Amino acid sequence: MKLETLKFDNVFNIQDKNRRILVTKNLSPGKAFFKERLFNVDDIEYREFNPTRSKLAASIVKKISFMPIKKDEKILYLGASHGYTPSFVSDIIGDNGLVFCLDFAPRVVRDLYMICEERKNMIPILADANKPETYKDRISNVNIIFQDIAQKIQVEILFKNLIFLNPKGYVVIAIKSRSIDVTQNPRKIFREVEEKLSSRLKIIDKRELDPFERDHILFVCQKK
Ligand SMILES: C[S@@+](CC[C@H](N)C(=O)[O-])C[C@H]1O[C@@H](n2cnc3c(N)ncnc32)[C@H](O)[C@@H]1O
């Protein structure tokens, strides 16, 4: 097995025979939270980061040119769900980073709590991302907002949360066209979303996420 360095902190490819497996350096060695495979290379443990389960992983495999999520960053993660992608964000930012993991569904936040118990850099928050006033006292300002909530009004919800983003901070947002309008052509929806985002943010890069996630796109943007 050979480890290939990527331009993203703590994210690598493992070359195993003819296969390439995306991995992150495991911040809690010996623990896999989602039955993901663990690999040991030169006495360092890595966790498989599956692009069919994570839009962040899919964007990396699809060669997004810039990803602000890196070592020591402070992030507000909207739509943390059971914590799959947030747990890899936790690997990437490492011990000195912090990720506020927010979701409004009590059933998934229960699972999320269990992971946050194991990770000092993950803070679970049960709240509605559309009501920032309900959690403004539980978080601090951040350099990055990651949003993956699959909602029709998700850009409007993102804009409400920009109060927490530092000047020149970054936004990473995943859009599922069917959540916005099932009847429309996904490309048309992506264009409309891009236009809306551009009113407050500079678009740095974007990637459609097929074949990992059909009719999804991920944008990386910066606060103007
Ligand atoms: C596609 S899942 C997120 C998957 C997760 N990002 C991952 O990769 O592991 C979308 C999540 O957004 C949450 N969600 C949707 N609307 C929300 C809102 N207004 N506030 C907070 N969470 C929301 C849902 O409960 C769901 O868990």
Can you tell me which atom of ligand 1 is nearest the CA of 149? 12
- 99 Cβ inside 6 Å of ligand 1: no
pLDDT of residue 213: 96
Ligand 1 atom with the shortest distance to the CA of 53 = 8
Residue 18 has pLDDT above 90, yes or no: no
- Proportion of the chain above pLDDT 70, given as a percent: 100
* pLDDT band for position 91 (cuts 50, 70, 90): very high
SS3 for 54-99 is CHHHHHHHCCCCCCCCCCCCEEEEECCCCCHHHHHHHHHHCCCCEE
Ligand 1 centre distance from Cα of residue 2 (Å):
35
Q: Does the pLDDT of residue 16 top 90, yes or no?
A: no
Q: What pLDDT is stored for residue 185 in this prediction? A: 95
Please give the Cα distance from 126 to 73 (Å, whole number): 22
Distance CA 105, CA 188 (A): 30
Domain ranges of the chain: 2-52, 56-223
- Give the CATH number of domain 56-223: 3.40.50.150
**Alpha helices, DSSP H, located in the chain:** 55-61, 84-93, 106-118, 154-161, 177-180, 186-198
Task: Determine the distance separating the centroid of ligand 1 and the alpha carbon of 167, expressed in angstroms.
Answer: 25
Cα 127 to middle of ligand 1, angstroms: 11
Q: How much is the average pLDDT of 167-184?
A: 96
**Domain 2-52: CATH superfamily, name plus number:** Phosphorylase Kinase; domain 1 (3.30.200.20)
**Does position 150 have pLDDT exceeding 90, yes or no?**
yes
Q: Give 179 Cα–ligand 1 centroid separation in angstroms.
A: 12
Q: Is 105 in the pocket of ligand 1 (CB under 6 A)?
A: yes
Mutate to test the pocket of ligand 1, among 111, 148, 155 (most ligand atoms within 8 A of CB): 148
Q: Is 50 in the pocket of ligand 1 (CB under 6 A)?
A: no
- Please check the confidence at residue 177 and state whether its pLDDT lies above 90: yes
Mean pLDDT of 15-36: 95
Nearest atom within ligand 1 for CA of residue 84: 9
